[in-house]
Every structure is written in C-alpha cells, then in structure tokens.
C-alpha cells in the first residue's frame, strides 16, 4: 500500500491531507498521480468507492500555481448537481492551506448568482454540461484559458445523453490541453470518444468492472410483487440497530414516490426521498440530513448511485432490480466504502429474474438467496404495471357483411366523400385542362387564340 508521504506533493497539500487524516493512497490514486502530473491524457478505470475524485484532484492541485487570472484554468465536468457540490467540497478541503479558488455551476438554481461568482475570478470550475454551455453562450464564462479538462463518471455522462454537449464543449476549449477521464466502466462509447477527440491516451485500470467489492456482503430475496416487497422492507427496517443507515434504490421517479408514501406511515421522520423531479434545495437538504444521520432511510433513483461519498451507509437495498447489471455495481458501491464492511440486499420478482441473472453473470458470483421471513405477508394488491392487461381483439379495417353487428350502419353520403385536395385547383384544371402556373401567366390566353 502506498503512503502519501512518498508522493512529491506541496506542503499545503500535505498539510490538508494530514488534517483529513489520510495517510495511505488507494491503488487508483497511487497509479494515477505520476501519470496525471506528467501532462499526458489519462483514462482511469476503477470501481466506485475507490477514491477516483482524489486520484485526479491531488496531482491537479499539486501542479496548479498561484494566479490572479479571472478565467478558470481547470474544468471538471460531472453528470449530476449533487456531484458538483461534492467535488467543490473536496477541492475546498484539499485547498484549505492554499489560495485555490473553485466555483460550482449546475442547473436548477439561479444563473445570475453563478455569473456573479464567476465574475470574481476562479481557478477551477466544476460543472454539469448543460449549465456550463448556457453560461458560455451568454459570455459569463470563457474557456480559452483551460489547461486541464476532467470528465468524471464519463460513462454516466454518455448514458445520460450528454455526448452532444460534450462535443460542443470540446470545440470551445483550447486544442492544447490535458484531458483526464475517470469512470467505473470502459464502454464502447468511451472508446469512441477517446478515438475521436484525444491522442496518446494512457489507460489506468485497477479493477475489472463487475468484480464485487470484498467487504460488501450480498444477499437476495425472491418476492412476488411490489407490495410484498414493501412488507418485507417494513419488516427489515424495524430492526433499527442493524439497519442503521439505509439507501433504497428504485427504478424510476414514480416508484420512488409510491414507496416513500408507503414507508412514511411506518418511519415518518426517519425517511426522505430524492429523484430528479425534486428541487435542488430539497435534494441537497435530504442528502445532508441522511449523511448527518437525521434521516435513517433514503429512497432514491439512480441519481444517487454514482460518485457521491456518503458516510457509513450500513445497507444498500435494491428494491427494484436494475436493468443494466453495471448499475447494480454502482449502487452497492455506496456501502462498504473506505474498507468498511457493508451489506447489499437485492429484491427481485419473477419478471426481474433475467436482470438478476445478468448481474450474477457480470460478477461471476451467485448472490446467496434468503428465505422470505414467515412474518412477511404476501400481498394480493398489485400496482398498475403488475395488473394483467385485458387486450381487446384487433378491430379489422374492413368488415365482412356477415360480421356486421346490429349496431352497424352505413356512412352518410357526406362522410363518404374523399379528400381530393383544394377545390380551386380542381376547378381551374377542369376549365383549362391544365392549372395556371406562375411561370407563364398568359399561357391560357395564348391557348384560346389558336
């Protein structure tokens, strides 16, 4: 294991690490430091929860000299608003004993305040692509001085459809710059992005995507439907000593609101919810309350599955089985961080079996199956999606005479007419054999004289 004392870092940065109580570097931090410091383009692949943020911040801050320049020299792009807030906080921690200036910009908040902040001058901008592009278009932010571009969680960026914005931002940046990308997975889309825009990239990979973290115990329950999952969750979460801090993942916003409503009756003040329809202030407040322990249970969509570093989560519960197996890895990576033990529980129905098997195939690991507790009631109530759909027989376009029912009636003469186009054109064509044209207004007069 590498020690930060072996790194050639500045005194202010070393003091900040000491204040944070960090002594040893993770594998991705140890391997990335010298490569990023060299100025080469870098792609780092490592499991979630292994310290990727510090892996690029340490060498960047170490090589960033003091400047009074108003425009930023480092641009860090992240996929979500919460990640902007977190990365800004990490920069402030590491830059505690230096003069580093950092600004965070993201959507869902007042743009004028962000303009005022940028006008004061900054060294590092942490941004989501959409809001960054908006600020550049109104000339509140200039990118001509950028020396280093960091794209954190690049696979999520591409999954969320940010490729178009990324390409536009690349065109606004100076050609001469260092590109640094970090991700938990290496996909074909990332390879294509590297091929199209970067040259001489050095790849650092410290773990195969899909390898389960050794300090996370994984279990699964086979459950017949949504409301039985709710009953099981209520049964488990009543053990407050074991389930001290629980992150519950669902597949979409509608499920998040429905589950929150069901659990609120049992755990009122202990539970909060986050998804993309919630306001930014609400989302940040919920994260802070959950992180501080004010709320014990947080229900969320995949907006919380990447990058966020929350303290001492005891359990991650996959209420819905993720469709993409990689998302399972990102979700469970919220627990078992910093070498602490964590527990993951996966709930799956019969229709989710295939998704569960895809997860096990990716990990090359079969998740132990637990018996449903006898105290858990099997619900008969079904959600709309689970209810059997009554399919109407296809109505034929043409009805045979023998198939006509008693209610059948012929169309009226008026409704049998077919649309033949504009009446004026038809009248002119009938009168003159050929419609008048703009090219020759005297065409029809010439024809009459003959």
Instruction: From residue 314, give the alpha-carbon distance in Å to each of 216, 235, 288.
Output: 10, 17, 17
Q: What is the pLDDT of residue 230?
A: 95
Q: What is the pLDDT of residue 344?
A: 94
* 229 and 324 co-located in one domain: yes
- Alpha-carbon distance 386 to 382, whole Å? 6
Last residue of a domain, one of 162, 185, 205: 205
* 162 and 227 co-located in one domain: no
* 65 and 154 co-located in one domain: yes
* 196 and 245 co-located in one domain: no
Q: Tell which residue, 303, 352, 290, 369, has the closest CA to residue 331.
A: 303
* 193 and 229 co-located in one domain: no
Q: What is the pLDDT of residue 76?
A: 96
Give me the residue label for tokens 């990324």: 166
* 120 and 199 co-located in one domain: yes
Condensed to tens digits (0 to 9), the pLDDT of residues 177-187 reads: 999 998 877 77
* 201 and 231 co-located in one domain: no
* 110 and 239 co-located in one domain: no
Domain presence at residue 346: yes
Q: pLDDT band for 368, please (50, 70, 90 cuts).
A: very high
Domain range for 247 is 216-370
Domain presence at residue 442: no
* 230 and 314 co-located in one domain: yes
> What residues contact residue 358 under an 8 Å CB cut-off, 6+ apart?
325
Condensed to tens digits (0 to 9), the pLDDT of residues 63-79 reads: 998 888 999 999 999 98
- Alpha-carbon distance 142 to 19, whole Å? 34
Q: Are 123 and 74 in contact (CB under 8 A)?
A: yes
Q: pLDDT band for 295, please (50, 70, 90 cuts).
A: very high
Asked if residue 399 has pLDDT above 50, the reply is: no
SS (H, E, C) 376-401: CCCCCCCCCCCCCCCCCCCCCCCCCH
The CATH number assigned to the domain holding 124 equals 3.40.50.300
Last residue of a domain, one of 147, 180, 205: 205
Instruction: From residue 50, give the alpha-carbon distance in Å to each of 141, 156, 163, 186.
Output: 32, 17, 26, 16
Domain presence at residue 449: no
Domain presence at residue 390: no
Span 7-12, average pLDDT: 90
Last residue of a domain, one of 205, 225, 258: 205
User: Total domain count for the chain?
Assistant: 2
* 287 and 307 co-located in one domain: yes
- Alpha-carbon distance 339 to 396, whole Å? 64
């Amino acid at each position: 294991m590498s020690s930060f004392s072996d790194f050639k870092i500045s005194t202010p940065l070393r003091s900040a690490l000491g204040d944070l109580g960090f002594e040893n570097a993770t594998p991705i931090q140890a391997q990335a430091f010298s490569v990023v410091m060299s100025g080469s383009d870098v792609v780092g692949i490592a499991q979630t929860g292994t310290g990727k943020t510090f892996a690029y911040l340490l060498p960047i801050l170490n090589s960033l000299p003091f400047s009074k320049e108003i425009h930023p020299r480092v641009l860090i792009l992240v996929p979500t608003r919460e990640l902007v807030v977190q990365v800004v906080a990490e920069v402030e921690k590491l830059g505690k004993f230096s003069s580093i200036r950092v600004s965070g910009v993201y959507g869902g908040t007042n743009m004028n305040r962000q303009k005022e902040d940028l006008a004061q001058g900054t060294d590092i901008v942490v941004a989501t692509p959409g809001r960054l592009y908006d600020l550049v278009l109104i000339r509140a932010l200039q990118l001509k001085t950028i020396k280093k571009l960091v794209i954190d969680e690049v696979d999520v960026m591409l999954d969320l459809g940010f490729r178009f914005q990324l390409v536009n931002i690349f065109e606004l940046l100076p050609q001469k710059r260092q590109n640094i990308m970090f991700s938990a997975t290496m996909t074909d889309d990332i390879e294509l992005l590297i091929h199209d825009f970067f040259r001489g990239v050095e790849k650092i990979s410290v773990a195969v995507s899909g390898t389960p973290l050794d300090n996370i115990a994984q279990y699964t329950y086979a459950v017949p439907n949504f409301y039985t999952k709710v009953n099981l969750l209520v049964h488990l979460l009543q053990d407050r000593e074991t389930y001290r801090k629980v992150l519950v993942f669902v597949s979409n916003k509608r499920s998040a609101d429905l589950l929150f409503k069901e659990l609120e009756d049992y755990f009122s003040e202990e539970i909060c919810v986050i998804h993309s329809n919630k306001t930014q202030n609400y989302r940040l407040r919920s994260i802070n309350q959950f992180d501080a322990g004010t709320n014990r249970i947080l229900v969320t969509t995949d907006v919380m599955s990447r990058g966020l570093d929350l303290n001492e989560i005891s359990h991650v519960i996959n209420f819905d089985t993720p469709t993409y197996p990689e998302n399972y890895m990102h979700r469970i990576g919220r627990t078992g961080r910093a070498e602490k033990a964590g527990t993951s529980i996966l709930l799956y129905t019969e229709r989710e079996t295939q998704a569960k098997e895809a997860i096990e195939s990716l990990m090359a690991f079969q998740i132990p199956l637990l018996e449903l507790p006898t105290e858990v009631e099997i619900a008969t109530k079904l959600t709309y999606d689970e209810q059997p759909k009554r399919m109407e027989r296809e109505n034929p376009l043409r009805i045979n005479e023998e198939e006509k029912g008693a209610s059948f009636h012929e169309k009226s003469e008026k409704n049998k007419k077919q649309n033949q186009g504009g009446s004026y054109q038809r009248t002119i064509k009938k009168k003159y054999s050929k419609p008048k044209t703009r090219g020759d207004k005297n065409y029809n007069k010439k024809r009459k004289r003959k």
